[in-house]
Every structure is written in structure tokens, then in C-alpha cells.
Structure 1
């Protein structure tokens, strides 16, 4: 479990998300300004709908770019020993008596909800304001927490904090 590797993975994923959003926004803009989008009748709303989509996509690009830039510029706190889960913690949870796989959570106030894989296990970026974030913040290694996954309450042990 290497926190810096996870941070690099997250920065790369956020950059890819930004590039995908930018590409979608360009496509939506091209559709909105295309000559075929000009209304032929007063009931033809394709051009108007395309412009709304282009605007929404451009807003998404701004959000994705901000997440990526903020996360990549953030200097994570270097911990000698982490006693409790806090902002910028990488947490590994192991199910107590379930056939579920272990999972990783990274606590960040940026881009919460992003889901990836790390060491072939689920990795989710959670903010301290989310239900999972609220449960994890302040917990110590070895403690048990109950988290709802796929509608089922599951008990996990905090196996490691970095």
C-alpha cells in the first residue's frame, strides 16, 4: 500500500476525466454551430437543444479541470505515523465476515466519488462530508466500521492507514 502511488493514479485519472470532458464539449459545440442545426421551422429545437448541451458540457470541463489542477497541485501532508484517519489518508478496509473483497478509500476534499482500481481492489475517493467519509474520519487502525455497500450494511476492519 503506497499512498504516493495512489495519488499519482488519482492525478492521472482526473486528467483523463478532464480530457474526456473537453472532447465531449468540443463535439457538442460543433453540433451546436453546425449549419444542419439551424431551425427550419418554429418547432425545430435541435439547434437550441445542442446549444444547451454545449453549455452544460463546457461547465463540466471547467469542473473537471479544476478538480484535476487542484488535486495535482495539492501537496499531501507527509505523515510519520498516522494514528487516525484524516484528510489525505489512504485507508484499507477488510471485511470482517463477508465474502466481499477488501477496498481502499482515499479521503480528499476534491473530486469525491471517483472510483478506480488499486492493486486489483476498489479504490474510491471520498470527501469528509460524505456518509463514508464521516464514518472513517477520526477512526484508528484496527477499529471496525459499518458501511452500506450495494444496499447491504457490511462490517469492515480498518486494516491500514497511510
Structure 2
């Protein structure tokens, strides 16, 4: 499976999210500054609420821009068994029910499911519990994560 194609899917999805967030920020800003939304008394808070929403949307736009910039800098390398699983790795895990699960480890801010060669690939950050548990592992290793009071075990089948 081509990791650069997975990265391209992430970038396309983030770009679409950015366009949608920018549109929402514009609408919220227009609503907040529209002359009909000027408060007539202390109980008339539509303009104030729209201003809060516009601020939140502007922050969301900036967060997506930063995530896009970080993902554009990612250069997935071939797997090095001496380093084990690192940022940019594509891993296949098998759970207790013998289901195979694919994970692409990328920078923060883009948790999503992708389709690669007809298979679902979950994008995770190295800061997630699973991402932390995978760090430095190689094919054949066992990976355990704590989910509340339960521990879930996976077999690491392969890494790219």
C-alpha cells in the first residue's frame, strides 16, 4: 500500500475541511457584524453570540491550517527494523477475533478513516494510546493498550 497516496487523501480531506471551516467563519463573522444584530438592550445577545461563534470558527480555521502545514511536511520513510514503528508507519494489527486492522501513524490533528486499495485505514497520532504502544515495535511483537479496566491485545503482523 502506498503511504504517499494515504497522505494525499489526508491532505485532500483536510483541505475540504478548511474550505468548509472558512465558509462557516465568514458566515459567523457576517452575522456578528450585521446591522440587524446590534443589541437593542442587555437581553439582546444575538450579536454577542455570533461574535463568540465567529471567534471559535476562526480558531478552527487556524488549527486546520496548522495541521495541513504539518501533514505537508511529513515524509513517510520505509520501515527500519532498528527503529521500529515511527511517525509515517503503516501497520497491520490483528485483534483477538483475528480481524486485521490497518493504521497509518501521522502527525496530530487528522484522525480519520481512509480507503487504501479497498481496505479501511485508520489514521492515528503517535500520541494516542495505541500510537504510544506501537512506538518502536516490529512485526511479530505484541501490542497492549489499556481501555478503562480492560486490556486489549493485538499482534503486530507487518509494518511498512
Are residues 1:109 and 2:104 paired? no
Contact 1:37 1:46 in 2 (8 A): yes
Tell me the matched-pair count.
156
Aligned partners of 1:139 and 1:19: how far apart in 2? 37
Aligned partners of 1:103 and 1:153: how far apart in 2? 17
Aligned partners of 1:160 and 1:29: how far apart in 2? 49
Equivalent residues in 2 for 1:9-158, closer than 5 Å: 9-72=9-72, 74-79=73-78, 81-83=79-81, 84-95=84-95, 97-98=96-97, 101-112=99-110, 114-118=111-115, 119-126=118-125, 128-147=126-145, 153-158=151-156
Deviation of 1:140 after TM superposition, in Å, equals 0.7
Deviation of 1:19 after TM superposition, in Å, equals 1.4
Judged with a 3 Å threshold, the aligned counterparts in structure 2 of structure 1 residues 75 and 133 are, in CA distance, closer, same or farther, namely closer
TM-score for the superposition, normalised by structure 2? 0.84
TM-score for the superposition, normalised by structure 1? 0.83
Partner SS for 2:139: coil
Aligned partners of 2:80 and 2:6: how far apart in 1? 17
Aligned partners of 1:111 and 1:151: how far apart in 2? 27
Contact 2:104 2:124 in 1 (8 A): yes
C-alpha RMSD of the superposition: 2.3
| Structure 2 residues without counterparts, runs of 5 or longer | none
Partner SS for 2:122: strand
